[in-house]
Amino acid sequence: MSTPVTDEFVRRVRDTTEGTPYVVTRTSSGFDLSLDVADAQWFGLFNRAGLRKVFVHHVKVTSDTFSITDDSTEIRWEAGHPKIAGSASRSMGRSIEFGHEKIWAIRDDGTVGRVVDYKFDSEEGRDLITLIGKDLGLAAKAGGAEKIGLYAALSVPVLIVLGLLLVLVLWLTGQI
């Protein structure tokens, strides 16, 4: 469903990412922002840099809010072409990853030098989306997968305390 705020959000993100390896894809509830690993202009760079993960930021937009769900997928390079790996390496929710790699080796021209100089920040795309969303007057909220993870993380200590209380009560009543 297309709304004026969603259309403006998509337009601004597309304008901001023009000339970069990011691609914006419209969805029924908003849009996705991801690296365009299949574009010939960029896949050579990604291959040389040793790109191993791709993040798709799924953005859901309502009239006054937006949420971002990160979708991390491992990539395998075969014969210089990207191939997305199986879903066993996939994670969704809020993913924060940073990386930096420098490799010195013999270059194609026979000289020794830096052949890989790569920095990665999974927050780069998310920060761009958040900046534009807030500029449009939208409030950021947690995505569904992020909420489920947070609730699960918060419920574990509560369940541990309840279990310890149950053991204490059973011990005090002489049942264990």
Q: Tell me the pLDDT tens digit for each residue of 79-92.
A: 555 555 443 445 55
Alpha-carbon span 147 to 69, nearest angstrom: 10
Are residues 122 and 163 both part of a single domain? no
Same domain, 23 and 108: yes
156 and 135 fall within a common domain: no
Tell me, yes or no, whether 147 and 136 share the same domain. no
User: Based on the domain organization, do 111 and 31 belong to the same domain?
Assistant: yes
Residue of higher predicted confidence among 74 and 55: 55
Rg (CA), the chain: 22
What is the structure's pLDDT at 97? 61
Look at 37 and 154; give whichever has higher pLDDT: 154
Between 4 and 80, the higher pLDDT residue: 4
Per-residue pLDDT tens digits for 16-59: 999 888 889 999 999 999 877 655 555 555 555 555 667 788 99
Q: Are residues 109 and 121 in the same domain?
A: yes
- Looking at the structure, tell me whether residues 54 and 38 fall in a common domain: yes
Same structural domain, 48 and 132: yes
Other Cβ atoms within 10 Å of 91 Cβ, number: 17
Q: Confidence class of residue 104 from pLDDT cuts 50, 70 and 90?
A: low
pLDDT of 89 reads 47
What is the span of the domain harbouring residue 164? 143-176
Residues 62 and 149 placed together within one structural domain of the fold: no
Could you tell me if 159 and 108 lie in one domain?
A: no
How far apart are the C-alpha atoms of 125 and 165, rounded to whole Å? 45
What is the rounded CA–CA span in Å between residue 25 and residue 104?
36
**Residue 44 sits in the same domain as residue 116:** yes
26, 100: one domain: yes
Total structural domains in the chain? 2
Residue 136 scores a pLDDT above 90: yes
